Amino acid sequence: MNKTDVLIIGAGPTGLFCAHQLGIIGLNCEIVDNLDKAGGQCIELYPDKPIYDIPAVPECTGEELTNNLLQQIKPFNIKFHLNERIEEIKKEENRWHVKSSGGVEFDVAAIVIAGGVGSFEPRKFPLKDCEKFEGNSLFYSIKDKSLFKDKTISIFGGGDSALDWAIELSNTSKVNLIHRRDGFSGVDASVQKVKELNDQGKLNLFTKYQIDSVTGYKNIESVKIKHDEGEIKEIKCDYVLGFFGLIMQLGPILDWGLNINKKTVQVNTENFETNINGIFAIGDICSYPGKLKLILSGFHEGALAARGCFKYAKPDEKLRFEFTTTSKAAQERLGIKK
């Protein structure tokens, strides 16, 4: 059991800055995220794309912003729980008991949901038949590549994941790479490599084809792919891999009794508390009149939510407003030596 003052759900910029604000006012927190790294949409959707509207930062990338935020909260030694999705929350007296997908448990005074547009999940094939093979012969990510040794694999997609795995697996497996158009979104060097491997017969590339059907009894035996012009090909294979990026799903948050409207959680604008006492929501996931889905708005919301958490974490103390420029307590928490 991890006991702390506040649990932040979501390690995007809003969640990270809220952790900073909690640290400044002397509260401890831990952060959970479904991805394998901090940064949220900034890292997953646009790590290299520039952002121009962070106050006092004329230009930075999603990755730079994330690294700076991580740097800023370093003094607080915050514990991260990555690759974990929060599944269950339960109120016990004045505390919240929270459980994650991997069985990590938390005992906290308050919860801050900074979950963006939901947790990132792999985008799946449109075919219903694919579901029954998922996890045994159809995958959306690779945990153990030895499974594919000497087998025939059909990989779908045109981004870096599809290209990288096609190249990598072509060393030990028979690889078919199927993509819906001639162009690829992956980096040029990988595209060139795939084309070379195709010319050398070390990989079979099918462009302008999409999945049409999968057949098999317990495991996949073959896939049918359909060309833009309508022609259908059947390919025998042992495994199918789909790499179509990630989609955001609200997931278990829907079942917690929060006021949810159009995939967002309603909050008040005084401290960004939801309809449930002790649960706050900030960033893209919250809604209120005038809400702007900007990172800078998430920072403001996080600052106020952190202060809203105080009365739950330290009910007998009074929070005094202070500036970091002059507050000895805040500077001590930041580890500043004079």
Q: Point out which residues bind another protein (CB under 8 A).
A: 41, 45-46, 117-118, 123-124, 126, 157-159, 179-181, 183, 185, 210, 228, 244-245, 247-249, 263, 284, 293
HEC string of 128-163 equals HHHHHHECCCEECCCCCHHHHCCCEEEEECCCHHHH
CB of 148 to another protein, least distance (A): 23
Q: Is the separation of the CB atoms in 148 and 166 below 8 Å?
A: no
Q: How far apart are CA 113 and CA 85, in angstroms?
A: 12
Structure tokens at 105: 């448990």
In the structure encoding, which two tokens stand for residue 276, read together? Answer: 């449930």
In the complex, the smallest distance separating the C-beta of residue 165 from another protein, rounded to whole angstroms, is 15
Q: Which is nearer to another protein, 59 or 88 (CB)?
A: 59
Pairwise CA distance, residues 127 & 223, whole Å:
11
Nearer to another protein, 204 or 210 (CB): 210
Min dist. Cβ of residue 53 to another protein (A): 12
The answer to whether 35 touches 82, Cβ cutoff 8 Å, is yes
Kindly tell me which of 159 and 252 has the beta carbon lying closer to another protein.
Answer: 159
Q: Which is nearer to another protein, 88 or 228 (CB)?
A: 228
Rank residues 124 and 333 by Cβ distance to another protein and give the closer one.
124
Q: How far is the CB of 130 from another protein (least distance, A)?
A: 13
- CA dist 281 and 71 (Å) reads 24
CA distance 209 to 195: 16
Nearest-approach distance from CB 178 to another protein, in angstroms:
12
Residue that the structure tokens 């960033």 belong to: 283
